[in-house]
Amino acid sequence: MKPSMKPALEPVPRAALSRMEWLLIASAALTILSSVLGLLPLHFVCKPLTMLLAIALAYLRASQARALERFDFLLIAALTASLAGDVFLMLPSGYFIPGLASFLVAHLFYIALFRQGVARFPSRRALLLALGVGAAMYAWVWDGLTDPVLKLAVAAYVSVISLMVAQAIGRATVLRDTASKAVAVGACVFMLSDSLIAVNRFVQPLPLVSLWVLTTYYAAQILMVHNAKRPNAG
């Protein structure tokens, strides 16, 4: 279905959306708890379920406007790519690169999403800061990247997530509303979550790493899916 098409949708009551958000938060909490406690069967169910609930929430919220627009398609695509990344990363370690690629695609969709209604990277300061942080993180994990393919893959990923953060922060500096600021915080927390993964994997093991990685990851995704609004939304 092309983004230009606007299929008619039945409006969803706000109460139903609120219940969906609480289900999303509960599923995220169960995913974190099952990972920390090593309850793998529960974890393998709750981890993909959490992002499926996020996708459903984005779709149902779009139905309040009775039509899906480009903004909604981009958000759903970003969440779907994140779901693929989650599935790959909870499989054996041989799926790290496909997982990384899936999240790279997710960030490209998020960049396009945060580009709606604003200029590309409207804050040069935010762009330089995000790229600087990304470059510093890449330099930190460099010695642990023993495979040339991994060096290239991580470099590409760090560049894209840095651009996603820069676009989100730049959007907030233009719109100056609470929702866009919350989205920018979510983007920064997403980068923090990935930084924890990188340090744990390529530098040194971190205590309770799954707790910190998943908590920051779900906080980021929930902040973004909850606060992302169409450019013309009130």
- Asked, for residue 1, whether it belongs to a domain, the answer is no
28's tokens:
């995220």
- Asked, for residue 17, whether it belongs to a domain, the answer is no
Burial per residue of 47-60, b for 16 or more beta-carbon CB atoms within 10 angstroms, e otherwise: bbbbbbbbbebbbb
Return the bridge partners of 181, or none: none
Predicted local confidence at residue 12, as pLDDT: 55
- Asked, for residue 118, whether it belongs to a domain, the answer is yes
Rounded distance between C-alpha atoms, residue 73 and residue 181, angstroms: 22
Which among 193, 66, 75, 181 has a CA at the least distance from the CA of 126?
181
Predicted local confidence at residue 4, as pLDDT: 47
Sign of the CA dihedral with 12 first, then 13, 14, and 20 last: negative
Angle subtended by helix axes 70-89 and 209-227, to nearest 10: 170
Rounded distance between C-alpha atoms, residue 57 and residue 139, angstroms: 38
- Asked, for residue 232, whether it belongs to a domain, the answer is no
Rounded distance between C-alpha atoms, residue 182 and residue 186, angstroms: 6
134's tokens:
């990304």
- Asked, for residue 19, whether it belongs to a domain, the answer is no
Rounded distance between C-alpha atoms, residue 80 and residue 191, angstroms: 18
- Asked, for residue 35, whether it belongs to a domain, the answer is no
Predicted local confidence at residue 61, as pLDDT: 86
Per-residue pLDDT of the chain (234 residues; tens, 9 = 90+): 444 445 555 555 566 568 889 999 999 999 999 999 999 999 999 999 999 999 999 998 888 766 778 899 999 999 999 999 999 999 877 799 999 999 999 999 999 999 998 999 999 999 999 999 999 999 999 999 988 999 999 999 999 999 999 999 999 999 999 999 999 999 999 999 999 999 999 999 999 999 999 999 999 999 999 998 877 665
Q: Are 66 and 8 in contact (CB under 8 A)?
A: yes
The DSSP symbol for 8 reads B
- Asked, for residue 41, whether it belongs to a domain, the answer is no
131's tokens:
């790229």
CB burial of residue 207 (10 Å; 0-12, 13-18, 19+): exposed
The DSSP symbol for 207 reads T
Q: Are 158 and 138 in contact (CB under 8 A)?
A: yes
- Asked, for residue 33, whether it belongs to a domain, the answer is no
Look up tokens 């999303």; give the residue.
24
> In total, how many domains does the chain have?
1
Report the Cα 171 to chain-centroid distance in Å: 16
Rounded distance between C-alpha atoms, residue 204 and residue 37, angstroms: 21
Predicted local confidence at residue 1, as pLDDT: 45
Structural domain span for residue 108: 70-227
Return the bridge partners of 67, or none: 8
